[in-house]
């Protein structure tokens, strides 16, 4: 199964009763393990979490921390784009040239990179004067 296949499968488990917008994410680590996540909404709307955040949490819980590639899919008219917060979350665990595949359930695909998704990423260097 491809990363998109994994993201497609986990998307079905998304809990999105408020937006009705189910999202699935799958990532593969540099060690070759695949982790998946889906969005989990909450009646207190800001408490909802994105699919990418779920996949990243699963990766960390699984003992991995280096993303080699990540894919996101939704039933959207154009390939779903990780939100700003998720871009920063992905950048925490991915090199700038890591591929990000954005997809629709209709079969549209766009491939970009962590670097291109988040120019000017906030890094630990911004907090260091030495
Ligand atoms: N969402 C994701 O899970 N990932 C994205 O990349 C974009 C947005 C979710 C958050 C919310 O549950 C729903 O999609 C609508 O914003």
Instruction: Report residue 46 CA to chain centroid gap.
Output: 18
DSSP bridge pairs for 100 = 70, 112
In angstroms, the CA 123 to CA 33 distance is 26
* Average pLDDT over every residue of 7-23: 98
What is the domain count for the chain? 1
What CATH number is given to the structural domain containing 22? Answer: 3.40.140.10
Question: Is 130's pLDDT higher than 80?
Answer: no
Which atom number of ligand 1 is nearest to the Cα of residue 40?
12
- Best of 14, 21, 49, 118 for a ligand 1 pocket test (most atoms within 8 Å of beta carbon): 21
Domain assignment of residue 106, given as a range: 3-127
User: Rounded mean pLDDT of 80-103?
Assistant: 97
Report the relative pairing of strands 99-104 and 23-29 from DSSP bridges: unpaired
- For the segment 33-74, what is each residue's pLDDT rounded down to a tens digit? 999 999 999 999 999 999 999 999 999 999 999 999 999 999
CA distance 54 to 16: 14
């Amino acid at each position: 199964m491809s990363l998109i296949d994994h993201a497609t499968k986990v998307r079905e488990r998304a809990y999105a009763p408020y937006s009705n917008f189910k999202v699935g994410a799958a990532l593969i680590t540099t060690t070759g393990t695949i982790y998946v996540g889906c969005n989990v909404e909450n009646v207190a709307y800001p408490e909802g979490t994105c699919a990418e955040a779920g996949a990243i949490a699963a990766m960390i819980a699984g003992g991995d921390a280096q993303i080699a590639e990540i894919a996101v899919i939704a039933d959207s008219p154009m390939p779903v784009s990780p939100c700003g917060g998720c871009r920063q979350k992905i950048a925490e665990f991915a090199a700038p040239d890591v591929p990000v595949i954005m997809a629709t359930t209709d079969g549209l695909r766009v491939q970009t990179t962590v670097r291109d998704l988040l120019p000017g990423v906030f890094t630990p260097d911004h907090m260091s004067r030495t």
